[in-house]
Structure 1
Amino acid sequence: MEIDFTREIALKGILHAHSTNSDGILTPEQVLSFYKRTGYGFVSITDHNKLTRVSTDDLVVIPGVEINLGRTALGYDYHVVIIGLEEMPSENVRRSVQELIDWAKSQDLFVFIAHPYWSMLSMEDLLRLERYDAIEVFNTGCEVEISRGYSGVYWDYLLHAGRSVFGVAVDDTHHYSFDALGGWVVASVSEPSALEVLKSLKGGNFYSSSGPEIKRYKVERTLVEVESTKFTTIRIFSGKMRGIYFNTDFLKVVREKKFGFVKEFVESGEEGVYSAHARLEGGITLDLSLGENFAKFKIDGNLPLEKYVRIEVIDEKGRAAWLNPVRI
């Protein structure tokens, strides 16, 4: 599978934000202005249990809502975000989390489970539900307020259990200061429209980020390639006890050839671009190119991967991009 975000419009957007219609400090119109002037191409305002209607010609606006309902194993609410709806679901539909998800899918909407870690969901809480499109892998507000914004372990558990679930990064902002501009999605679209964004979301043709920009990635059973802005770390997650970790500091180890698993290592630097090629034990090769603001990573061969692959790209500031999983 290969996704090239340079072939179409890469539209940056926010999928979880609140206005004065629930517990945010900005009016819906101010929310749109806030994200427009900071470079976003689409916005979904997801007020609590209330559908906020607002429009502008300046960017794509997609109606959304965050609905609190149900009870988890620890007695808390689930928070379910629905994107693309034109009317609120009835009270009958909102009797259970699964009924709500089923209703959303029957309407061809995009639905995800908000902040699993913040909500203290158990893995069984997530497994008992079906048909949701995604979970929040990163939530800015939850991270800066109580350090529970990252939910990658939930994502891997679901993928390992055979679920096909995407990951979204969001702000979930209320204050539009410290809790904003920390998590977004970039959708590949043919034109900036609500229909195109929803199509991209439902098809997984997007990535999530808190910093790095992804240009292209390709995943096969024996190959992983990533092209992005400059990074320091690539984390490749897979099924069972499998995966790959790469950090640019690894090059120092390889250069010194202190370990027997390095069979060959060649590096060069021309016109501001650093390149390296390594042949490792077990028939694995690694190729890397690093420029001022771009990076290319390729690893192929007999890779320790099983069932699925998902990738995180991390830059020197510790900010991450999360790529949607590929089944292998």
Structure 2
Amino acid sequence: MALSAFSAPGRFWRGNLHTHSTLSDGALEPAEVCRRYAAEGYDFIALTDHFVGMFGYPLADTTAHRTNAFTTIIGAELHSGAMENGELWHILAVGLPADFAPSNSPGFLPVDDQETGAEIARRARDAGAFVAIAHPHWSGLTLNDARTIDAAHAVEIYNHGCAVGCDRGGGEHVLDLLLSDGRDLSIIATDDAHFTEPDHFGGWVMVKAEANDPDLLLDALKRGDFYASQGPAIHGVEMHRNEIVVECSAAASVIVQGHGQAAAVTHGQSMTRASVPLNRFYASDWLRVTVVDRAGRRAWTNPIRR
């Protein structure tokens, strides 16, 4: 069985799903953000400024910055309701309609009479957005918090800005526990770029679609036809009864993770094809693959349900 991201028609398009500009707390104008990502070889971005009252609830209209070689998806980072630690929720919503109604979120502190995180996430998904739980480690997210978000398509497994700024860039622990709860989730890596520090060009998604078109990219994200990366490329993944076979750019390790303590790895020198045995996964109903290159950069497949 081949993963849909590698068997679906089309080609891979590189994009960043979490980006900020001067419309909220970023350092660069939207046009310059788009220019820099295009110059770095990205095919698309979603400009996701903070959707709070202090910035006028911005939904950046980036359509003017689309070209034949570069496109954009409209989105925002939504904030409403308190987590268990008292902090405000951060929910990534890519593919929002231009008339998405503001929440009662005047700033970066929770207030009375506002939607919960679960409610604003559901409203965004119902409006057509691809919804992700942002930076779980940075947020101090608990498993109880995460379990309330029933509308998420994905979890940020890597947030480059959080990694650079405070060494809290991960989300794999919360992700894996939710997968073991039976949640159907995909995996994204993002920048969360503000351009106030070296928080850009460090994490992205590779989305399989027949054209670099916002609607086709959004549909592919919702189907899970993509993988996430900090650098390595994944060319193919096939699951057989007793092994997973991975084709990739030069790798030092190919790791398979599953429920609980289930994990297996194949190490090598400049591997471009690796077979990982599945004998440890008899009790796991899900698997996911991590490819690690010699520099320690990672790429992640979306989970495979068994």
Q: Pick the aligned partner of 1:88 from 95, 100, 105.
A: 100
1:233 match: secondary structure: strand
Give the aligned partner of residue 263 of structure 1: none
Contact 1:213 1:321 in 2 (8 A): yes
Q: Work out whether 1:232 is the aligned partner of 2:252.
A: yes
2:306 is the counterpart of 1:298: no
Deviation at 1:91, TM superposition (A): 3.0
Q: Is the 2:266–2:276 Cα contact (8 Å) retained in structure 1?
A: no
Deviations 1:200-247 (A, max 9, x none): 100011000001011111224422111110000112111132121222
Output the amino acid matched with 1:81.
Answer: L
1:27-176 alignment, distance < 5 Å? 27-49=29-51, 50-55=58-63, 56-58=65-67, 59-86=70-97, 87-91=99-103, 95-175=115-195
Q: What does residue 14 of structure 1 align with?
A: 16
* Range moving further from structure 2, 301-310 or 189-198: 301-310
Tell me how far apart the structure 1 counterparts of residues 174 and 298 of structure 2 sit (CA, whole Å). 17
CA contact 1:5–1:215 (8 Å) conserved in 2? no
Shift of 1:106: 1.7
- Code of the aligned partner of 1:295: T
Aligned to 1:2: 2
CA distance in 2, matches of 1:67, 1:108: 14
Query: Alpha-carbon deviation of 1:9?
Result: 1.4
Which residue type is aligned with residue 18 of structure 1?
Answer: H
Contact 2:13 2:212 in 1 (8 A): yes
Shift in Å, 1:8: 2.0
> 1:311: which partner in 2?
289
Distance 2:278 2:253 in 1: 20
User: Percent identity over the alignment?
Assistant: 31
C-alpha deviation, 1:40, in angstroms:
0.4
Asked if the contact 2:254–2:291 (Cα under 8 Å) also holds between the matched residues in 1, the reply is yes
Shift of 1:303: 4.7
| Paired residues of 2:83 and 2:145 also in contact (CA < 8 A) | yes
Kept in 2: contact 1:144–1:179 (CA 8 A) = yes
Distance 1:231 1:61 in 2: 31
Q: Is the 8 A contact 1:101 1:131 kept in 2?
A: yes
Name the SS of the counterpart of 1:297 in structure 2.
Answer: strand
Q: Partners of 2:191 and 2:293 in 1: how far apart? A: 19
Name structure 1 gaps, 5 residues minimum.
Answer: 250-289
216-225 or 121-130, which deviates more: 216-225
Of 283, 300, 304, 1:322 maps to 300
The residue type paired with residue 96 of structure 2 is: L
Provide the rounded CA distance (Å) in 1 between the counterparts of 2:260 and 2:241. 15
SS in 1 for 2:33: helix
Per-residue CA distance 1:130-179 (angstroms, 9 max, x = gap): 12101110000000110000111111111111111111100001116511
- Secondary structure, counterpart of 1:95 in structure 2: coil
Q: CA deviation at 1:101?
A: 1.9
Which one is further off, 177-186 or 116-125? 177-186
Specify the code of the residue in structure 2 equivalent to 1:323: T
Larger Rg: 1 or 2?
1
For residues 255 and 116 of structure 2, the distance between their equivalents in structure 1, rounded to whole angstroms, comes to 36
Once the two structures are TM-superposed, the CA of residue 248 in structure 1 deviates from its matched residue by 1.9
Partner residue in 2 for 1:210 = 230
Name the residue aligned to 2:109.
none
For 1:117, what is the secondary structure of its paired residue? Answer: helix
Read off the aligned partner of 1:36 and give its amino acid letter: A
For the residue of structure 2 that corresponds to 1:229, the secondary structure is strand
Give structure 2 stretches of 5+ with no counterpart: 52-57, 106-113
Instruction: Tell me if the contact between 1:6 and 1:215 (Cα under 8 Å) persists in the aligned partners.
Output: no
Secondary structure of the 1:32 match is helix
SS at match of 2:28: coil
1:290-313 Cα deviation digits (max 9, x unpaired): 5xxx60112356453411000110
3-state SS, counterpart of residue 90 of structure 2: strand
In structure 2, how many angstroms separate the alpha carbons of the residues matched to 1:221 and 1:198? 32
